[in-house]
Amino acid sequence: MAAVVAAVVGVLTADVPPDLAGFAQAADLLLRGRFAEVYATPWNQAGPAQLLISRVLEFGVGEHGMAWPVAALWGAALVTGVMWLCGRFHPGDLRREAVAALLALLWVAVPMPWYGHPPEILVPVLWAYGIVCQRRGRDVAAAGLLALGIAIAPWAILGVPCLLAGSGPIRALRAGLLAVALGVACYLPFVLTGQFAMFAIKWRVGVGTFASLLGIEQIGWWMRPLQAAIVAGGVALVAWRLRRSPVAVTAVPLAAALLRVTTDPVTHGYYWFPVAIASLLFVAVNGRWVIAAALGFVALLSESSWWPLWGGAACLVLLLVAVGVLRFTARPSLDPVG
């Protein structure tokens, strides 16, 4: 029943994602080997993998939005998948399933992912599975997963310190450097053409951001390294503190996604979509879930409030409370090394 409701809501709220057509056109240039034209204008800030996924999604665009089977499948899959995770890790916990399904359904109604860049919702999942691979000793696989995230969107590099949750610092550093090298290599064919204009973009600073409180009205890529240092440092700290805990698999990607939106000088509602996916995983997988669910609903409200700084800060506080106070149950599939 929940899947049917989600499918209907998905159809009613689906639209053509912004930038999808432009990304699909860039993918056509890529596939025809016209690398010099793919990033010839600063507008294109998507990774090569996102361009290719957008090309596939473009096939499903109808006259009035996404084709209804695609939209219905997305809504049903998200809600059903979240309920399945709840049943997989906490069988018989019907209250958890109901709350998680409601949260997922509300995100479908936002609508996620049509109000943004759909491929970017994969990034926190890649971070989470990267931690799992790192804990299982599959460092190359972990690096490959994080590199795929960077190939989807450059901001995914912020999650590289997540690997500290899966191993000691030396292994994490090696895997992290490999992930960055592989991710950056995806952009090299375009950089070497001499027509790579990604770094020339200027963003208008959004209301309610930290940058706006400082009186900054416009920023460029010059501010991104500062933001990256803050976010990566915070992620590394959280990952290191949780390196022995099974909660790290979902808590660290959620912390990374939250730190990104909290520190970003630009406000787009879809920046919260990776937070949505990470928070749903957090609610479904971990032990006691009331605070985790509260965090998820605060994130949902923050997406529509246009106050990312305060909304993100509130979510981070709730995450710290959830991790520091609640007792989480270890699961072999998430914490294979105990």
Separation of alpha carbons 147 and 41, rounded Å = 24
Check whether 124 has a pLDDT greater than 70: yes
Token reading at 19 = 């930038």
Average pLDDT (217-234) is 94
CB 74 within 8 A of CB 84: no
Check whether 107 has a pLDDT greater than 80: yes
What is the per-residue pLDDT for 325?
Answer: 64
What is the per-residue pLDDT for 332?
Answer: 39
What is the per-residue pLDDT for 305?
Answer: 79
Residue with tokens 């992620």: 235
What is the per-residue pLDDT for 337?
Answer: 36
Give the mean pLDDT of the chain.
92
65 torsion bin: left (phi>0), alpha (psi -120 to 50), beta (else): left
What is the per-residue pLDDT for 268?
Answer: 92
Separation of alpha carbons 111 and 151, rounded Å = 24
Reply yes or no: is the peptide bond before residue 246 cis, omega within 30 of 0: no
Tens of pLDDT, residues 306-316: 788 999 999 99
Work out the percent of the chain whose per-residue pLDDT is above 90.
Answer: 82
User: Which has more confidence, 336 or 85?
Assistant: 85
CB 22 within 8 A of CB 44: yes
- Cβ burial, residue 1 (10 Å; 0-12/13-18/19+): exposed
Which of 51, 64, 63 is closest to 21 using CA atoms? 51
CB 209 within 8 A of CB 265: yes
What is the per-residue pLDDT for 299?
Answer: 96
Separation of alpha carbons 108 and 119, rounded Å = 15
Average pLDDT (5-34) is 94
Tens of pLDDT, residues 30-88: 999 999 999 999 999 999 999 999 999 998 887 667 888 899 999 999 999 999 999 99
Average pLDDT (248-253) is 95
Average pLDDT (95-123) is 96
Tens of pLDDT, residues 131-159: 999 999 999 999 999 999 999 999 999 99
What is the per-residue pLDDT for 295?
Answer: 95
